[in-house]
Amino acid sequence: MNKYELVLVVSAKIEDEAREKTLEAAKNLITRFGGVITEVEDKGKQKLAYEIQKMNEGFYYFIQFDAETTVPAEIESRVRIMDNVLRYLCVKQDEE
């Protein structure tokens, strides 16, 4: 299994409950495809580098997980169509 990190930027214009549901949906995707979540880091509301969908702020979440090599592509294809996710990035972490 490889180590990966999924970064989500979630809309700041939605309610806290909807934001938590979006985070839970992303975590459920990881576990559904056989990934094991090792850490979830909530960075809170931050200013975006540039305006996205007329928004200047978003909530940042960093999810570290262990998974097989096919899992990130499956996750990205589903996160791409989630309503409240402004941006996402899934990267493989270096072995230490």
**What CATH number is given to the structural domain containing 63?**
3.30.70.60
Distance separating alpha carbons of residues 41 and 31, to the nearest angstrom = 17
- Hey, what are 25's tokens? 């949906």
d(CA 27, CA 67): 13
Question: Tell me, what's the pLDDT at 96?
Answer: 64
pTM of the model: 0.89
Split into its structural domains, the chain has a count of 1
In the prediction, which pLDDT does 94 show?
82
> Taking 80 as the threshold, does the pLDDT of residue 93 lie above it?
yes
Domain boundaries, position 83: 2-92
- pLDDT attached to residue 48: 93
Residue 87 has pLDDT above 90, yes or no: yes
- For residue 7, the model assigns a pLDDT of 95
Q: Does the pLDDT of residue 95 top 80, yes or no?
A: no
